[in-house]
Amino acid sequence: MKVTITQENLNHGLTTVAKIAQQRGSLPILSHVLLKTVDNQLFIAATNLDIAMSEVIGAKVDREGSITVPARLMQDYISSLPKGQITLELDGTNLHIKTSDKNYTSTLNGTLSDDFPAMPEVSSGKSISVSAKELVGSLGRVLFCASHDDSRPVLMGVYMHSDDKGDVYVAATDSYRLAQCKTSIQSKDPVSLIFPSAALQELLRVAKSEDEKVVITYDEQQAVFQVGSVEIVTRLIDGTYPEYQKLLPSSFETTAQLSREDFHEVVKISSLFAREAAGGVTLHFSEDDNALSIKSIASQVGENTATAEAKIDKDAQITMNSRYILDALGAFSGDKLLVQVNGKLDPCVLSDPSDKEYIHLVMPVKS
Amino acid sequence: MKVTITQENLNHGLTTVAKIAQQRGSLPILSHVLLKTVDNQLFIAATNLDIAMSEVIGAKVDREGSITVPARLMQDYISSLPKGQITLELDGTNLHIKTSDKNYTSTLNGTLSDDFPAMPEVSSGKSISVSAKELVGSLGRVLFCASHDDSRPVLMGVYMHSDDKGDVYVAATDSYRLAQCKTSIQSKDPVSLIFPSAALQELLRVAKSEDEKVVITYDEQQAVFQVGSVEIVTRLIDGTYPEYQKLLPSSFETTAQLSREDFHEVVKISSLFAREAAGGVTLHFSEDDNALSIKSIASQVGENTATAEAKIDKDAQITMNSRYILDALGAFSGDKLLVQVNGKLDPCVLSDPSDKEYIHLVMPVKS
């Protein structure tokens, strides 16, 4: 293998894929990154067996070949080099790397690429195309609600599914809170896919700065996200996602409408006094006072009452984990917020009166 | 105690001193901050017994008094409150805190201030006055060389001392590297003080944003740094600082002059390959090539040679820890750098040809 490539392109490829390579693990080759000439391009790939990432970058190929080299060192090294042309030349399993001014010359001890796990392929399958910006927006608003508890694997993913009108939604829940976002995707075929959170985190990282489309191709077992020259292959989570739609209340006894920023302030300050109580704070909805007040009591250190002005149609009271409310507020950006409750034991629903696409449920804690 | 104070002033005082309060420790009161009315001001203080910090802030005092409250909660709470007037009112050991719009009302359970350690005082003593900016500059260039090894306590501090002309220097060494900076201070009295690093770190934090003078008052045992309305009291380290001046070479066999940025690049890149060798890299000074090259070899992963253009008067070679060189380079800001060596076993000296006030020595490692 002999390849000439710009530092900028090589660095982009390595920054994209090398994060997937494991630093420690039972299989040393998984800490490596694969470099392989394909036509007049360089294919760069890494995998942790759950997720495989690759990018194809432009290169001048003088001699075909392939090798794997330690991912972290290769990435740190290339990212530190000055901009300009870099030559990669393979001699046995030694990869010689030279900058064109010859100020930097190095040799990395590689491993034969024969041992590198084959990249999984989704040969035939259905596909969805969506703007990167919109997909990142929708996924980012639900992904943080996915569970980290591996006793219920389906909850560790994000559920993408279509309704009978062909509208596609994404949703995630860890059974303490739930978020659903309607996407801009329209699908004739019914969609029902559970994507692992880890793969979506990589997708968000890569697609965040992309203006292009993301193409999702999937079969029964796995899915490929194609973002520009980057491909992310992931297995799908097997199983049936809970019918969470049944949890979404259709009507509310009490609705508070208030400034999102005010609500954020009072929850944040209340949470300081809720550390002893595992984050629990009690929301008091007062119709007469036009106020939503939060009381938090820390028996050892003190107590606090924080009040925000709000339009309220009926008195109510509910105790929730302040951390979940703060997490939820990160998914909103409008001026106003609706906070709606039924009873002390029913979920509290947060939504933006000017954006009906997103809904967030937080379960109460026993007060 | 009943005090009205602005959120901005109270937050400034708490941000300054509360960091000193210990979260965990044998004495619970050390996790508290002292609030005490003094004339028409509020005195805020915290101590960890080694260092005591206080700030006096303007306040409207309606009723005198004092109390200690949990430092971290108080700071987090006050910093989260909106700008404006805050009332602090003491009832027994309960401190009631209210914002003027009454949207936030809280009660902190305090502890009687009788149990709070008395702030140490430097009653009579000599004093030095210096511009905060200059002191921060000089200390910042040497402080990182102080030792973390408590087997030689004097090396855990920064040595401030005067020469026979009255010029005052600061110096620090951990016996692997040494930095000395000449300050703008002139002192008629001979100065010989060893300040603990931790206290200087607090001083740098506080004095960084100050345009004013720092007044250092000291006696045999302790010193006070006065920065605006803030006071930092610290014990001095007892003992005799090594006569490090003997280590400073007066002449050099080899001098390399090169761009500081180039040198930083080649050291940084070489250090990537020096991880296996505990950071050791070998500098090759070549007169014929007008080049300073650094070789680093990692037997497992590969090797690297990085070269920077340099004016060199004689060939030489020395092996050093790349981490120490990178640390040292953080203390330089000029365009050019002098790298000077005598033998393989003698210290390498870094200096800026246009700034003779600062000198930095790095000891070689055996190659």
Q: What is the pLDDT of residues A138-155, one digit of tens each?
A: 999 999 999 999 999 999
Percentage above 90 pLDDT, chain A: 88
C-alpha distance from B272 to closest chain A C-alpha (Å) = 7
Considering the domain architecture, whether residues B233 and B316 belong to the same structural domain is answered as no
pLDDT of residue B102: 87
pLDDT at A276: 74
* In a shared domain, residues B231 and B297: no
A304 DSSP β-pair partners: A296, B106
C-beta separation of A71 from A79 below 8 A? no
Q: What is the pLDDT of residues B106-116, one digit of tens each?
A: 999 999 999 89
Q: What is the pLDDT of residue A24?
A: 78
Of the residues A83, A115, A147, the one at which a domain ends: A115
B180 lies in some domain: yes
pLDDT band at A118 (very low <50, low <70, confident <90, very high): confident
- Residues of chain B in contact with residue A103, where contact means CB-CB under 8 angstroms, are 266, 306-308
Cβ-Cβ contacts under 8 Å, B73 against chain A: 272-273, 301-302
Q: Is A306 on the interface with B (CB under 8 A)?
A: yes
Residue B90 lies in a domain: yes
| Cα B317 to Cα A96, A167, B290, B339, distances in angstroms | 25, 70, 14, 12
Mean pLDDT of A220-244: 95
One domain for residues B21 and B111: yes
CB atoms A103 and B301 under 8 Å? no
| Mutation target among A76, A103, A270, A294 for the B interface, most CBs of B within 10 A | A103
pLDDT score of B211: 80
Does B104 contact chain A (CB < 8 Å)? yes
Q: Are A260 and A280 in a shared domain?
A: yes
Alpha-carbon separation of residue A270 from A295, A296, B198, B312 (angstroms): 7, 6, 33, 64
Share of chain B above pLDDT 90, in %: 88
* Shared-domain flag, residues A137 and A69: no
User: Is pLDDT of A280 > 70?
Assistant: yes
**Mean predicted lDDT score pLDDT of chain B:** 94
Please give the Cα distance from A194 to A239 (Å, whole number): 8
pLDDT, residue B367, reads 60
- Look up the domain containing B8 and give its range: 2-115
Tell me what percent of the residues of chain A surpass a pLDDT of 70. Answer: 100
Query: Cβ of A70 and B103 within 8 Å?
Result: no
The verdict on B109 touching A (C-beta cutoff 8 Å) is yes
Residue A28, chain B, CB below 8 Å: the answer is no
Beta carbons of A119 and A156 less than 8 angstroms apart: no
Residue A367 domain flag: no
Question: Which of A133, A7, A18 is CA-nearest to residue A78?
Answer: A7
Residue among B73, B81, B308 minimizing CB distance to A301:
B73
Instruction: Mark yes or no for CB contact A306/B94 under 8 Å.
Output: no
Q: Tell me: do B105 and B144 sit in the same domain.
A: no
Residue A80 to residue B300, Cβ atoms within 8 A: no
Q: B275 pLDDT exceeds 90?
A: no
Please, which residues 244-273 of chain B have a Cβ atom closer than 8 Å to chain A?
265-266, 268-269, 272-273
- Give Cα separations from A104 to A80, A99, A320, B66, B272 (angstroms): 11, 6, 58, 65, 13
Last residue of a domain, one of B214, B246, B278: B246
Q: Region B246-269: what's the mean pLDDT?
A: 96
- Count of CB contacts below 8 A, A vs B? 88
Tell whether B229 and B290 lie within a shared domain: no
The answer to whether residue B20 sits within a structural domain is yes
Residues on chain A touching B7 (C-beta within 8 angstroms): none
Domain membership flag for residue B37: yes
Decide if pLDDT at A83 tops 70.
yes
CA distance A338 to B61: 42
- Tell whether ipTM is more than 0.90: no
- Tell me the C-alpha distance between A70 and A29, whole Å: 8
Q: Do A302 and B106 touch (CB under 8 A)?
A: yes
Measured between CA atoms, the residue of chain B closest to residue A268 is B80
> Is it the case that residue A352 has pLDDT exceeding 70?
yes
Chain B interface disruption, residue of A67, A104, A300, most B CBs within 10 A: A104
Answer yes or no: do A349 and A253 share one domain. yes
Report the gap between the CA of B59 and the closest CA in chain A (Å): 23
**Can you give the CATH number for the domain in which A313 is found?**
3.10.150.10
Judgement on whether residues A287 and A187 belong to the same structural domain of the protein: no
Per-residue model confidence (pLDDT) at position A35: 97
Residues in B closer than 8 angstroms to A82, CB to CB, are: 265
Cβ contacts of A109 on chain B, cutoff 8 Å = 300-302
Residues in B closer than 8 angstroms to A94, CB to CB, are: 302
- CA distance to partner chain B, nearest, from residue A131 (Å): 38
Is pLDDT above 90 for A209?
no
A51 touching B (Cβ < 8 Å): no
pLDDT band at A27 (very low <50, low <70, confident <90, very high): confident
- Average pLDDT estimate for B287-306: 91
Q: Mind listing the pLDDT tens digit for each residue in B165-193?
A: 999 999 999 999 999 999 999 999 999 99
For A308-346, how does the pLDDT look when each residue is reduced to its tens digit (9 = 90+)? Answer: 999 999 999 999 999 999 999 999 999 999 999 999 999
Count of the separate structural domains present in chain B: 3
In a domain, residue A121? The reply is: no
Which residue on chain A is closest to B77 by alpha carbon? Answer: A269
Where a domain ends, among A213, A246, A279? A246
Please tell me the predicted confidence (pLDDT) of residue B294.
96
Find which of B89, B93, B301 to mutate to test the A interface (most A CBs within 10 Å of its CB): B301
- Has residue B277 got a pLDDT over 80? no
Q: What is the DSSP letter of B221?
A: S
CA distance B50 to chain A (A): 26
Is the pLDDT score of A367 beyond 70? no
Residue in chain A lying closest to B274 (CA): A73
Cβ contacts (< 8 Å) between B322 and chain A: which residues? none
Examine the domain organization and report whether A150 and A235 are in the same domain: yes
Residue B120 included in any domain: no
Any A CB within 8 A of B103 CB: yes
Split at pLDDT 50, 70, 90, the class of A298 is confident
Which chain B residues touch A269 with a CB distance below 8 Å? 77, 80-81, 104
Q: Is the pLDDT of residue B339 over 70?
A: yes
pLDDT digits (tens, 9 = 90+) for B237-250: 999 999 999 999 99
Q: Could you say which residues from 315 to 354 on chain A have a Cβ atom under 8 Å away from some Cβ of chain B? A: none
Same domain assignment for residues B165 and B142: yes
User: Quick check: B308 contacting A, CB < 8 Å?
Assistant: yes
> What residue in B sits closest to A294 (Cα-Cα)?
B104
Question: Which of A299-308, B251-260, B349-358 is least confident?
Answer: A299-308
Asked if A73 lies within 8 A of B307 by C-beta distance, the reply is: no
Query: Do A80 and B273 count as a contact with CB atoms less than 8 A apart?
Result: no
* Residue B367 belongs to a domain: no
Q: Which residues of B touch A306 (CB under 8 A)?
A: 103-104
Both A172 and A220 in one domain: the answer is: yes
Smallest Cα distance from A309 to chain B, Å? 9
B306 in contact with chain A, both atoms CB, cutoff 8 A: yes
pLDDT at position A293: 97
Is the CB of residue B76 less than 8 Å away from at least one CB of chain A? yes
Using the beta-carbon criterion (under 8 Å), do B108 and A302 form an inter-chain contact?
A: yes
Amino acid at A337: L
What pLDDT score does A54 carry?
A: 96
Using CB atoms, pick whichever of A102, A106, A273 lies closest to residue B304. Answer: A106
Q: For the segment B120-148, what is each residue's pLDDT rounded down to a tens digit?
A: 888 778 999 999 999 999 999 999 999 99
d(CA B164, CA B191): 10
pLDDT band at B156 (very low <50, low <70, confident <90, very high): very high
A302–B107: do the CB atoms touch at under 8 Å? Answer: yes
Residues of B in contact with A91 (CB under 8 A): none
Q: Are A308 and A266 in contact (CB under 8 A)?
A: yes
Res A180 pLDDT > 90 = yes
